[in-house]
Chain A
Amino acid sequence: MSLSVPDLNFRVIAPALIVALTALIVLLAELVTPAPRKRWLGVLGLIGLLIAAGATVGLWGAPASAFGGMVVADNFGLFLTLVILLGAALSILLALDFVRAHRVDQGEYYVLVLFAVVGMILMATATDLIVIFLALELLSLPLYILAAFKRADARSLEAGLKYFLLGAFSSAFFLYGIAFIFGGTGTTNLMKIADALAKNPRNDLLLVGAGLLLVGFAFKVALVPFHWWTPDVYDGAPTAVTAFMSVGVKAAAFGAFFRAFLVALPAFAFDWRIVLAALAVLTMTLGNVAALLQSNVKRMLAYSSIAHAGYILIALVAMGASGLSSALFYLLAYTLTNLGAFGAVIALSDGERERLEIRDWGGAARQYPFIAAMFAIFMLSLAGFPPLAGFTGKFLIFSAAVETGWAWLAVIGVLNSLVSAYFYLRPIVQMYMSEPVPGWDRIRVAPLVALALVLALIGVIALGLYPTPAIVMATGGFLR
């Protein structure tokens, strides 16, 4: 028999390939690295991420697909790849000192982060449901382990176990959805599903499949009512891990979410946008209202990340070029801002003790004037104050919604942003207006954490003041 080998265009998956190679090198180097030098493994990982970013830029502007249409390197996927690499690099910078302070200074930490990045990149660039599913597992499995990485802490173990059980459950929904879609169309390739739909727009099996797929995606990006795991996992996981997963998973899963619905399902007779609009309203409202009630900073940021998933969902409802580019810009802005916010939590901690309760933040502005100012700016950006990145992102998403006739959704989004200002301002007020809390003295901030915060800050301000280059980059769109 003769075999026809598909187009093995390794250039197309070069970014993922480079990160995977880096992960393998770090895994082997871990064996010969003495305990005090483990942080150099993180530096090695950073170098790999940088090279992968270079390869991603090299692929820019020339969309190509490979492996029989299973992955593509289009500008949508490459933009998300850059967002994921940026988020991973900043979170490794945050982790280098964090893992030592928490006595989990092992090389496997960086290995698992890098493997999760491989899964995220593949998920954002995959055009076949099988690859999307495997990439989803490849990004989830390391995160389950990382959430439980601080084994001495029962809450970290609980977070890992909870994330694992619920994640495996949601993966089953996702896989069942893929099976139904395959049953209805005979293919798992997104473009071929679109072709099958164009011939026969009323496809009940596909309807069920898409619904189950939606449950899987909704779990991963934490949409209400599939968000229950988020506060517990974000709160229990080590803060550096929470920072990484709050941004990386969102970028990757929203990438596949957008691609699956906008490439495969636009010809669907059933208007799924009304379902997504309802989910967006629920997610924004419940996320913001629940965040109002939190006294713990990590839980507050967890509910805030749920609310932001709701805003991004508006862009999916809006569809079209403006919806797509606004979502990409928002994910970039959210990545920088959220990493900055979690980075500030890490910067203000005292060894293993973290200031998790908002009342502990009293007087922090006097002890750490620079960190406090940066944290305040990140909070304002999350709330959507001009001229910061968060404002531009929200502006783009809401105007995309208005353009496409979803003005009422934009209005609910704006009202939600107003509500959110209250809980984003509360820690700022606490830092600047209250007396220092006894037991919390000024500790030297690790220089690498400060560096990560400054880099995120530069990004947040630059994207707010001069967003044009990023917006232009974000308008690449899909390769179909």
Chain B
Amino acid sequence: MESIPFYFLAALAVLAALGVVVMRDPVYSALALAVVLTALAGLYVLLSAPFLAAAQVMIYAGAILILFVFVIMLLSPGREGDAPRGALKWQRPLAVIFGGALVAQLALVLLMTILPTGRGLYTPEYLAQIGSTQAVGAALFTDYLLPFEITSLLLLVAMVGVIVLAKKKS
């Protein structure tokens, strides 16, 4: 019974993700992405991680998506046209064949495998005891300290890179 919300949110996320790719109008793609990100936040709630869910909504569905919409508004790219005819026509059937093969393989393995079960460290009881926010903070600043610091360098590089590519030529 408790898996019904999971399947609902998971199916919603997958369908909306398809929408991101299939929609021709970039604004619709961005809105579909908002649905994906919100559905993921719902999955975090089901996993007893309300802090992650809130952060997901605020940062991804909120801030980052609004930036996307701003960029779309500023560039106003309009609807995506069809791919130019004649150019690399052989790519489409090949992409369908190989992409289909990959999806079939993944589906086959997932259907064949009995997924390992078991409870990890972050059980609902444990989280209720120490708090979801504290658990995220503790993980970030102890076990995942090095990845956390590498991420900060990564963000700095991204900022420097954007300025290098965007600033006016002196």
Interface size class of A (residues with CB under 8 A): 35 or more
Interface residue B153 (Cβ < 8 Å from any Cβ of A): yes
Chain B residues with CB under 8 Å of A5's CB are 142, 145
A133 shortest CB reach to chain B, Å: 9
A71 to B145, CA, bound (A): 12
12 new A-B contacts at CB < 8 Å, known A6-B143, A142-B157: A4-B142, A5-B145, A35-B170, A115-B153, A115-B160, A128-B147, A141-B154, A145-B157, A183-B115, A184-B116, A186-B116, A205-B113
A426 beta carbon closer than 8 Å to chain B = no
Give every chain B residue within 8 A of A130 (Cβ-Cβ).
144, 147
Point out the residues of chain A lying under 8 angstroms from B134, CB to CB. Answer: 1
Q: Report yes or no: A68 in contact with B143, Cβ–Cβ below 8 A.
A: yes
Q: A-side binding surface: helix, strand, loop or mixed? A: helix
What is A's interface to B at a CB cutoff of 8 Å? 1, 3-6, 8, 13, 20, 27, 35, 67-68, 70-71, 106, 108, 111-112, 115, 118, 122, 128, 130-131, 134-135, 137-138, 141-142, 144-145, 148-149, 151-152, 160, 183-184, 186, 204-205, 207-208
* B164 contacts A by Cβ under 8 Å: yes
CB <8 Å contact, A141 and B145: no
- B113's partner among A108, A152, A204 (CB-CB below 8 A) is A204
Interchain nearest-CB distance for A146 vs B (Å)? 9
Compute how far the CA of A250 lies from the CA of B166 in the bound complex, rounded to whole angstroms: 29
When the two chains form the complex, which single residue of B116, B141, B164 contacts A149, counting CB atoms closer than 8 Å?
Answer: B164
**B146 near A: Cβ within 8 Å?**
yes
Contacts from B to A (Cβ < 8 Å): 105-106, 109, 112-113, 115-116, 118, 120, 130, 134, 138, 141-147, 150-151, 153-154, 156-158, 160-161, 163-165, 169-170
Q: Return chain B residues, CB-CB under 8 Å to A134.
A: 147, 150-151, 154
Q: Is the CB of A138 within 8 A of B150?
A: yes
Contacts of B130 on A, CB cut-off 8 Å?
1
Residues on A with beta carbons closer than 8 Å to the beta carbon of B163: 108
**Does B164 contact A137, Cβ atoms closer than 8 Å?**
no
Give Cα distance in the complex from A138 to B170, angstroms: 28
Contacts of A70 in B (CB 8 A): 146-147
Partner of B164, one of A68, A112, A122: A112
Which residues of the partner chain B approach A111 to less than 8 Å between Cβ atoms? Answer: 160
Given the complex of chains A and B, what is the CA–CA distance between A4 and B130 in angstroms? 14
Given contacts A207-B109, A208-B105, contact A27 B160 (CB under 8 A): yes
Using CB atoms, name the residue of chain B closest to A68.
B143
**Closest Cβ–Cβ distance, residue A183 to chain B (whole Å):** 7
Q: Are B150 and A205 in contact (CB under 8 A)?
A: no
Would you call A151 and B165 a contact (CB within 8 A)?
yes
